[in-house]
Structure 1
Amino acid sequence: MSKSKLAAGISDREAEVLALVGQHRSNAEIAAQLFISVRTVETHVSSLLRKVGVTDRRALAERAAEFDRVEESGAAAAVLPSSLTSFVGRERERRTLREAVRAHRHVTALGPGGVGKTRLALAVAADLANEFTGGAWFVDLVPVTDPAMVGAAVARALGLGEQQGRSLDESVSAALAERRVLLVLDNCEHLRDGVAPFIEHLLANCPNVTVLATSRARLMVPFEQVFTVPPLSLGDDAVALFLDRAAALGWPVDAEQLARVHEICGRLDGLALAIELAAARLPTLGLDGLSASLADPLRLLVGGRRADERHRSVRAMLDWSQALLTAEDRCVLRRVSVFAAPFTAADAMAVAGSPELDPIAVADGLARVTEQSLLTVVRSARGTRYRALETIRRYEREELATAGELDEVLTRHLNWCAATADELAADPAPATRDWRSAFDAAADDMRAALTWAAVLPKRRADAHALAISLAQLAFTRNLISESQRRYEQAAALTDDPVSSAAALRRAAEVAGCRMRGGDMYRLYRAAAETIGGAGDSAASARDLATAAITVFRMSDTLAQPVAAGEAAALLSEARELAGADPAALAAVALAECGVLADPTVAEGESKTVALEAITSTDSARTDLPESETPVTVAISLAQRAVELADRTGDPLARSAALDALAAAQCWAGDIFAAAETTRRRGALLTSMPLTPGSALERVNALSEAADIGIGVGDLRDSRRWAEQLRELPLLAERGDFATSALLVADALAGNLDEVLTGSGRFIDAWELSGRPYAPGLAPAAAAVAMAHGLRGDDASRAEWLAIVDTLGGTSDHRFAYRAVFDAIVLLDHGQPERALAELATEPDALNERTIWIWRHWYVALRAEAAVLAGHPDARGFVAAARTTVSGNPIAGPIVERAAALLDDDRGRLHAFAAEFERAHCPYQHTRSLTLAADDRA
């Protein structure tokens, strides 16, 4: 096993599982190959997620490949690129920089292009790798053209994905919060506006992270320690580098020629890149030819002296390199310089080809230019690619402008990006491994082309189209923060209000997928203003009403609460603009449901709003019932919203309306009706193609289906919905949220091994997310605490109850589920009096939003506790519970079992055990046998 795997604490069996995960095998395939159970595989995968420090299976597969590269190179706990050539000299600089990195949390290796900053930084990182338990990681920023994408580049290098509710920058800092890591950020100068705030945020939130950056200019970050990388010393290092590279080419230099080598290195100012390129010319020019090529007349090709003498020397060297190429090869080299990332020969043909430069000439030119060390060959699983060093690329872009070809070639590159985006969008198997690789290979070029085109008025239409394509592709790649930003960018790149509003709506949907309710609200309001300004009142009404409903449907995700009455004001405006448009009327009706359910609005005001809504629109609606309680009004409004949504034929509108109806039915206490409505909603969304809107609805629908399944005692379906939720790509980085519903269902069923296995993934994901305040996750933590309680592990139970408190929620909010879980443990431990005390509050005295899916469990366990505690009104508890839980396959038998105990009829308990078995609740099955004093328990 490699040292890096040992350093991560990975066992031999886990290493086998990790290797197969890296091959993208399913758990079932891994189990079959290793002759172990699927459950054992799940346990190993959960452990690997924790040890490797990632939150989803995709990132784990990428890290598996990195471990393999590390093993092949013999490195220890470092993910650094291996070099094909040796590191020569610079012992003093290497030692000094190494000590600087040990002493300071941020060191910038500063120097001009070609001086050797990257090689020195990599050598130092390799020296220090074993001192950083979290490893040394290299991030190449050369392909990144957008400062906002620095965090994305770092996340990709670390194998991290975006976590819902957090930007990639925040996800990186959360993942590295407690890890001791050396992060090498290479080539920062063109991204200082993005790198500086990223480093500042990272160091402020990750006390054990050290950053070693390379740049041509200071990053101006607080506490930045600058180490100026000098040219190679002419007496030793520069000559040694030349001799080493010449020998590697099979051209050793005789001792009597060392003076000539010293002269050449001096005229190149000791710049490492220049010396390496000069040495590469030795087989074709010899030392005499090299000296002649570096004469002053060739230096004058720069066009005058430059302020940076070292830069002037690099430019002179590149001018000289250009002079050694044919006109055709120079044309190929300058044209392919527009590529931001490694490119294939076919890509080069598409961008560099022209009537005077046919595809064969481009391919031949690539080969000759590569032989001259002006391009580097990059081999990958997707074939051979080419890449220009950044110094050369910058030089060639200037040559492209000088030749008058810049606009033409950039346009071809833009067209290539658009065509590539179209191919990716048309792929019948999006988000597969091959598709992801293809997207990753092209994404940096798309971003670069978009950056260029967005600032030119004549390219705005092309930039808008590319921004839309990139937004769609980024969403499929699960880069949802970039997707939102690209949609917003697209909206700003068009003067067509219809297109702009459409992009803003899609951006709002993506914001919802990110759990950014504030952004979602802002973007729908912007869409309403944009389309309203164009005179489309109905569309504006839809957007205003959707903004209003966002306040209620996404209330838990609002960073700042919306001002009181603001949503109601939007709804009033939307109602005035809706006219007879079916979609607008459906959106308004849905928003009315939200306003009525708003807990911040007084009941009387809610009724007024609801009544006004029902009496001010469509006369064909169902009239309000005579008993005008908020609950009956809510049911009427929700039913009307469903009817109007059905008329639109829009499945997303129908899903949202069914969600409102299910919520109203829960509010009314009819959880079986809510369960049926939720099933209808799930069936509606199953066959929908993946879009931000459908993804958001599907997450919401599956989450609620899993919850309501618990409420009606359908644990098997609840678990099935929860498993589907966990497998959604959107939740790949949210192990805490994706696992929470499963934890609750398994805990109530009594699948304690599964609970304790899943709890590892839950806690790891929550901690990697920075231990956020998340009341919605608290029931899952309480379920884990219950599992430990049933196992008799009081210390672990106390730890998880503390996590429940940290996750948040008011004591009232926590009361129902905490009482249920605590009562199960207390009853199991033979303490019915204490259990009854936990359940002492009358269920009707609890807020419906608090008790919601827990009502049946609450009253059933309350009846059992009353019977076992000998409460004088135990029979009354049983009778009241019977009415409530009728039809629940688990809560119902719990109540009837309590009645049998009350009648001292233990013979009936075996029949209840069978009922629990049919209901997939092994814990209550075993408890029935225990209460019957059956030895099988």
Structure 2
Amino acid sequence: MTTPAISSREAEVLDLLGEHLSNAEIAARLFISVRTVESHVSSLLRKLELPDRRALSRRSPGGTAPRTAAAVLPVPLTAFVGRAREQAELAEAVTAGRLVTAVGPGGVGKTRLALAVAARAAGGFPDGVCFADLVPVTDPGRVAAAVAAATGVGEQPGRSLDDVLPAALADRRALLVLDNCEQVREGVAPFLERLLTACPGLHVLATSRARLMVPFERVFPVPPLSRVGGGRSEAAALFLERAAAVGRAPDPAEYGHVTALCERLDGMALAIELAAARWSTLGLDGLTAGLSDQLRILAGGPRADGRHRSVRAVLDWSHDLLTPEDRALLRRVSVFAVPFTAQAAADVAGFAPLDAAAVADGLGRLAEQSLLTVTAAPGGTRYHALETIRQYGTELLAGTGELGGVRGRHLAWCLDAAAALAEDAAVAGGPDPGPRGGAAWRVRFDAAADDLRAALAWAAGLPEHRADAHRLACALASSAFARNLLGEAQQRHEQAAGLAAHDTDAAAALRQAAGVAGCRRLGDDMYRLHRAAGEAARRAGDPAAAARDLATAATVAYRFSSTFAEIPAASEARALLGEAREQAAACGDPAAEAAVALAEAAVVADAFGAVQGDADNSAADTVAAAERAVDLALRAGDGAARSAALDALSGAQSWAGDPFAAAAAARHRLDLLDRSGAATPAATHELVDALAMAAATAVGTGELPQARAWGERLAGRPLLAEVGDHATSWLLVADALAGRADDVLATSPRFLDAWERAGRQRSFSLGPAAAAVAMVHGLRADRDARAAWLATADRAGAEDDHRHGHGAVFDSIVLLHHGDPAAALERTAPEPESVWKWVCWVWLHWYAALRAEAAVLAGHPAAAARTAAARDLVTGNPVATALADRAQALLDGDRQRLLATADAFAAAGCPYQAARTLLLAGGRHAAAGAAALDALGLRPGPAGPAAAH
């Protein structure tokens, strides 16, 4: 038998699997969706007849080779000259030490040396090298974000990047190059101490103008370019190479003069390159004369050693060769933190003596002088000043008295850019982003973000710019949220609250921050921020807003208790509810009354859960309280409040024993949010939660195609792109119950990787997902994989739910599949009426129907009674009804009714049970059933005799 042909796209995916990339990383590399990658992985597993993703990575042409630095290190555009001794010594130090800092003054060539050493040492690090440039980072707290971007690690709901990065890199044997650490040294040192402690296989090569001052650091001083054996000079070799690149190489007779010139420049690489750039127009005599006239030592403290002064002297000299207009332009564009366009430069630097035309022309001249670099970008040509030159320009701004004015113009430019980005943020991730959104918007944001952050950091410290800083923080927060930078979005909203001039504005920002915290699954932060918003609203004299926020804080304590590190005491939450009632009574605001009613419903539901429904009227009270909250939210016209109230109603109806009403409420909630189209953090949090609840309730009522559709939509949310556990939970469950083994096997690695990265959390959706994967491996008779996933299910879900709920359901399916009804009967021994009180109600219908079938196939004396009870209980659930009908047909020995259930299963979107029905029918039908199971990627179980009972 020949292996089926692999498409070109599948071959690309296979190659990237060999690089050990995640599905999200492969999707980004190939510009396709994560779901498409999962489909290709599933197809490859089937075509190559391999058991899992690891086997695929080994089958990849590059699967056995370590990742190299070539794909992740910046590629210099000029040749690296000399430094053979330093390369060897630094490479040895990097291999032997966990943290090596290459230290030297600006312009000495630290970055180029680090890149050369990283490329040379890459073969010794199986997981490759990554490069993070900290030049654009102005906030010490953003070091983790820069490293995360370089290593491809995304944010995780419920965890900060300081926690996510060590978990993601814990098992990597890799080299991280951290460039230009000096301006955020106070953030780099503690970050690296935490990272290296948690990641024993990680080595770091840092570059900085000063050592990081941590005890485990090995410092490598980077010397100037010097003479080597035989009188040859590395510095002169660099000059000759760069001079030849700009038009004319010096004659051999001039080499001695070149060497002397380079020695006068103290062997500083930047100074030599700047001098070489002028060679073709000034010649050796002109360069020598220029240095003789212009070389001077700038005033400075003890940090300004001789070499630093020499670099500054060359910059002074290069600066003095410029026209007054170009000097003004060079110092003014130094405020840009990242590459900028000519239009941006005109907006910031285009004032007397410059106009827009002079700015555009001057940028070209500065680039020719090697004072700016030029790069082509999707948004047009961009210019960039090296960090040393930026710092030099900033000093010139201060010296000319222009610093405040130019930074003010830069702040105004950033405010306009941030406002435009924020305006388009709402459509950036929508179904029809158009030219204003989608990838184009993300490119615009990424190109401007570091400038916005730098302007905000400057303005936030100046009282006269406090209002501008508040506006910029708000705009940056909304754009960061749209860019799925949730940690930064929450940080910026909280920063905006601190900068607000009025408590009303502070409350609004805190409310937004709470919504982002909800998306991050940080219950403690949601609670804290809503409380703070309530207090700010109370100070502002706004009792309606205070009532809403305080009541919402109380609701969060109950509704999202599973996302708390430490759940607030019930007395504390009830005290907040009491305060909210007082504020609501003082204003009579409908939205405030709705928020209070929702908190009251949460308290009632919590009390009902505490007594497990022992009081006959508890369920009715819970439903009544939730219905009142829904009614009040409808009157108030608050979509997010209605969604939250409908969620409470869905939960109440499930506890009242009405799963179809619960499903209807969940569906109503989702329809409401879809119609509103709101993209605020609170609405987004509600939508993500609503998708999960809609999928879960559809599983509970046997609507597998709908559950899969909602689960697939949840898994495809950009917000959850790197959070595969919660994103893919219900998709895994729906696919497993339907019998789509290939899809489950393709999705499960993403789930497991994300669950591990997120710290092995527990929730009512994570346990069932892991158990569903275990079930598929059980159906495939892969005992080792099943055991591993069952262990994960034990750790990921609630104990009772795994024992009596989803665990009993999935285990029974496996046991019945392999012809062991007695064991399935034992697994479902407790009565359904008692079990569902202990577990999530989603599994009630499945449990009762499978229990009836186990009783029939095992010949239990109560089989008839159990089957009749199950048929009454599951009426309206298409899959569970077909299961109960199949049990009755088996009990009655009615082959025609038995075969009819196969059609019912197929119509309900459950091909696995349809195929198994054919096996149970026996005879000629058994072969068709076995073939159908084989097509699903499942191992056929024993064929059952027709009408077995």
Do these two structures clear the TM 0.5 threshold for a shared fold by scoring above it? yes
**What's the CA shift string for 1:525-549, capped at 9, x where partnerless?**
1101111112212211111110011
Query: Which of the residues 474, 490, 502 maps onto 1:484?
Result: 490
> Counterpart amino acid of 1:257?
E
Structure 2 equivalent of residue 449 of structure 1: 455
Structure 1 equivalent of residue 767 of structure 2: 778
Structure 1 equivalent of residue 43 of structure 2: 40
Q: Which moved more, 1:165-174 or 1:359-368?
A: 165-174
Query: Which of the residues 646, 652, 656 maps onto 2:640?
Result: 652
Secondary structure of the 1:713 match is coil
Paired with 2:783 and 2:44, the residues of 1 have a C-alpha distance of 28
Secondary structure of the 1:333 match is helix
Map of 1:302-451 to 2, 5 A cutoff? 302=299, 307-427=304-424, 429=433, 431-451=437-457
Deviation at 1:165, TM superposition (A): 2.2
Change (3 A) 1:202 1:394: same
**What's the CA shift string for 1:867-913, capped at 9, x where partnerless?**
21121222221232223111111111211221222222233101111
Q: Which runs of 5+ in 2 are unaligned?
A: 1-7, 428-432, 930-949
Paired with 1:198 and 1:15, the residues of 2 have a C-alpha distance of 25
Map of 1:592-631 to 2, 5 A cutoff? 592-598=600-606, 603=611, 629-631=617-619
Query: Which of the residues 282, 286, 298 maps onto 1:285?
Result: 282
**What's the CA shift string for 1:167-224, capped at 9, x where partnerless?**
2333333322212111101000101122122212221222211111001112123411
Is the counterpart of residue 97 in structure 1 residue 100 in structure 2?
A: no
Paired with 2:47 and 2:529, the residues of 1 have a C-alpha distance of 42
Structure 2 equivalent of residue 170 of structure 1: 163
**What's the CA shift string for 1:78-121, capped at 9, x where partnerless?**
41111111111111111111000000111111111111110110
**What's the CA shift string for 1:137-187, capped at 9, x where partnerless?**
111111111112212222222333222222233333332221211110100
Paired with 2:210 and 2:47, the residues of 1 have a C-alpha distance of 46
Structure 2 equivalent of residue 243 of structure 1: 240
Structure 2 equivalent of residue 679 of structure 1: 667
**What's the CA shift string for 1:57-81, capped at 9, x where partnerless?**
xxxxxxxxxx9xx99xx97654111
Is the counterpart of residue 733 in structure 1 residue 717 in structure 2?
A: no
Structure 1 equivalent of residue 197 of structure 2: 204
CA contact (8 A) 2:181 2:188 kept: yes
Structure 1 equivalent of residue 653 of structure 2: 665
Secondary structure of the 2:106 match is coil
Structure 2 equivalent of residue 213 of structure 1: 206
Change (3 A) 1:524 1:17: closer
CA contact (8 A) 2:808 2:828 kept: yes
TM-score using structure 2 length: 0.89
Deviation at 1:9, TM superposition (A): 6.4
Deviation at 1:774, TM superposition (A): 5.2
> Counterpart amino acid of 2:809?
V
Secondary structure of the 1:830 match is coil
Paired with 1:912 and 1:408, the residues of 2 have a C-alpha distance of 79
CA contact (8 A) 1:464 1:490 kept: yes
Paired with 2:345 and 2:518, the residues of 1 have a C-alpha distance of 39
> Counterpart amino acid of 1:321?
S
Change (3 A) 1:29 1:306: closer
> Counterpart amino acid of 2:723?
R
4+ residue runs over 6 A deviation: 4-9, 14-21, 27-31, 36-39, 41-45, 49-54, 303-306
CA contact (8 A) 1:832 1:865 kept: yes
Is the counterpart of residue 810 in structure 1 residue 818 in structure 2?
A: no
Query: Which of the residues 547, 550, 562 maps onto 1:544?
Result: 550
Paired with 1:477 and 1:117, the residues of 2 have a C-alpha distance of 33
Q: Which runs of 5+ in 1 are unaligned?
A: 55-66, 608-626
Q: State the aligned residue count.
A: 893
Deviation at 1:6, TM superposition (A): 11
CA contact (8 A) 2:24 2:721 kept: no
Q: Which moved more, 1:101-110 or 1:195-204?
A: 195-204
Q: Which moved more, 1:656-665 or 1:19-28?
A: 19-28
Is the counterpart of residue 509 in structure 1 residue 515 in structure 2?
A: yes
Deviation at 1:296, TM superposition (A): 6.4
Structure 1 equivalent of residue 576 of structure 2: 570
Deviation at 1:777, TM superposition (A): 1.0
Query: Which of the residues 31, 46, 50 maps onto 1:24?
Result: 31
Paired with 2:875 and 2:166, the residues of 1 have a C-alpha distance of 50
Deviation at 1:316, TM superposition (A): 1.2
CA contact (8 A) 2:42 2:742 kept: no
CA contact (8 A) 1:77 1:134 kept: no
Is the counterpart of residue 742 in structure 1 residue 731 in structure 2?
A: yes
CA contact (8 A) 1:177 1:768 kept: no
Is the counterpart of residue 825 in structure 1 residue 811 in structure 2?
A: no
> Counterpart amino acid of 2:516?
V
**What's the CA shift string for 1:356-389, capped at 9, x where partnerless?**
3111111111111111111111222332111101
Paired with 1:712 and 1:7, the residues of 2 have a C-alpha distance of 38
Deviation at 1:655, TM superposition (A): 0.5
Paired with 1:16 and 1:444, the residues of 2 have a C-alpha distance of 28
Q: Which moved more, 1:908-917 or 1:694-703?
A: 908-917
What percentage of aligned pairs have identical amino acids? 57
Paired with 1:350 and 1:44, the residues of 2 have a C-alpha distance of 57
> Counterpart amino acid of 1:843?
P
Paired with 1:871 and 1:306, the residues of 2 have a C-alpha distance of 88
Change (3 A) 1:457 1:254: same
Query: Which of the residues 257, 260, 285 maps onto 1:260?
Result: 257
CA contact (8 A) 2:68 2:123 kept: no
Paired with 1:643 and 1:849, the residues of 2 have a C-alpha distance of 30
Paired with 2:298 and 2:766, the residues of 1 have a C-alpha distance of 66
CA contact (8 A) 1:725 1:738 kept: yes
**What's the CA shift string for 1:292-341, capped at 9, x where partnerless?**
22236640565899742222111111111111111100000000000000
Structure 1 equivalent of residue 621 of structure 2: 633
Secondary structure of the 2:248 match is coil
Query: Which of the residues 185, 191, 199 maps onto 1:192?
Result: 185
Structure 2 equivalent of residue 142 of structure 1: 135
Deviation at 1:631, TM superposition (A): 1.1
CA contact (8 A) 1:50 1:764 kept: no
Structure 2 equivalent of residue 107 of structure 1: 100
Is the counterpart of residue 870 in structure 1 residue 859 in structure 2?
A: yes
**What's the CA shift string for 1:753-805, capped at 9, x where partnerless?**
22222223222333444545556311111111111111222222112112212
Secondary structure of the 1:139 match is strand
CA contact (8 A) 1:28 1:38 kept: no
Deviation at 1:18, TM superposition (A): 9.4
Paired with 2:485 and 2:354, the residues of 1 have a C-alpha distance of 38
> Counterpart amino acid of 2:628?
R
Map of 1:550-565 to 2, 5 A cutoff? 550-565=556-571
Structure 1 equivalent of residue 599 of structure 2: 591
Alpha carbon RMSD of aligned pairs, Å?
Answer: 3.1
CA contact (8 A) 1:136 1:183 kept: yes
Deviation at 1:522, TM superposition (A): 0.5
